[in-house]
Amino acid sequence: MTLEAYFWLCAILVFYAYLGYPMILTLMAWIRPRPVQKVYEFPSVSVVIAAFNEEKNMGSRIENLLGQDYPPENMEVIVVSDGSSDRTEEIVRSYESKNVKLYALGERKGKAEALNYGVSKAAGEILVFADARQTLKIDAVKELVANLSDPAVGAVSGELFLTPADEGHMGRSIGMYWGYEKWVRKKESLIDSVVGVTGAIYAIRRDLYEPIPRGTILDDVLVPMRIALKGFRVVLDEAAQAYDSLVIRSEVELKRKIRTLMGNFQLLVLLPETLSVRKNRLFLYYVSHKLLRLLVPYFLISLFAANLFLHEGVYSLTLALQIFFYLSAFVGYLLNRQERQIKYFAFAYTIVLLNYAAVLGLISFIKKNEEVWVAKGQPL
């Protein structure tokens, strides 16, 4: 392969990962949409929450769930305390008369084992998974469950709305990226299935749950992918809404993204069937949405390195554009350190930061970093 061919291959792969794949999804969703047949029935539901030292959020979290527009006799709330040392367990016990159940593990075992234990105690036909911090819209549970009346649907994700607690350009840049990610998921859902759900709000059929291996980082990808591999759809319902307010800081986002991307590498080991064209009908979606995102930083490095040896014609322009972009990201980094932000520079810095996180995610996975509770915010 010539250097020019290698350059354009890397450029095409980067373009496909960020723009080409969404364009294909748009066309496929227009040609062959598959809307879900929702029916508002009210089967028994178990809401399962794994919690570690959530005393600041637990009271409002339970009140929010008890206020759901869903028959209270058909819904139980299960909170598994993963070795909490604050008032989390005390707060949950105060709601035991309202069909809220506490299970304390005694010592910290990790989110995966906490979820497994909670599910083992669940009596509902439908499992709803939620985090401790977010607020659900009053009809969120009802809207989630209505999707599971469609026999083709095995899991359903709600939509998480992130509101930066600060109004800096970093927060808006992260918000733009999250909006882009949700748009891709909506198109995937309309065609067939998403390849991951929002951990803050999703539901599955109880009989489709399989215990999660200890140390699993992305339960919200492993669980739905297992269900998809069994032939069921995993869909996104915009009507089932959750809300969260985050203080957006680059160092926090870096830790959160590293954890998420480390989990994507881990998934390749836990669920190798995802790489099988024969076994995984979502192979194109999975490779395009998940795997290519892990490889983009290496394509970008290769693109720049190849361009250093290509100087004539259009290559002088592409090199200049790349240098300008990375200088802009560096300026964004310097401004961020001074707690100052300018929109374009913040955006460039955010893109580079997210790709840098992919590299660190691989390094962390190789080193078998087990701090799986770090940065418990939503994966981006």
Residues 330 and 83: their CA atoms lie apart, in Å, by: 42
pLDDT score of 106: 83
pLDDT score of 373: 42
Asked if 269 contacts 362 with a C-beta cutoff of 8 angstroms, the reply is: no
Going from the C-alpha of 210 to that of each of 115, 129, 336, the distances in angstroms are 11, 14, 43
What is the tens place of the pLDDT at every residue in 211-232? 999 989 899 999 999 999 999 9
Looking from the CA of 44 toward its CB, the CA atoms found within 13 Å total 8
Amino acid at 271: L
**Mean pLDDT per 10-residue run, the chain (380 residues)?**
93 95 94 94 96 93 95 96 93 94 91 95 96 93 97 95 61 70 93 92 96 91 95 96 73 74 89 93 93 93 94 92 94 79 80 88 75 40
pLDDT score of 173: 63
43-65: b (≥16 Cβ within 10 Å) or e: ebbbbbbbbbbbbebbbebbebb
What does the chain come to in residues?
380
Looking from the CA of 270 toward its CB, the CA atoms found within 13 Å total 22
The SS3 of residue 276 is coil
Residues 136 and 65: their CA atoms lie apart, in Å, by: 7
Q: Which domains, from first to last, does the chain contain?
A: 45-249 (3.90.550.10)
Alpha-helical segments (H) within 121-192: 140-147, 169-191
pLDDT score of 174: 66
pLDDT score of 344: 77
pLDDT score of 253: 66
pLDDT score of 168: 53
Contacts of 78 by beta carbon, 8 Å cutoff, 6+ apart: 46, 47, 48, 49, 101, 103, 118, 121, 122
pLDDT score of 153: 97
The SS3 of residue 346 is helix
Contacts of 373 by beta carbon, 8 Å cutoff, 6+ apart: 52, 110, 111
pLDDT score of 72: 94
The DSSP 8-state label assigned to residue 70 in this structure reads S
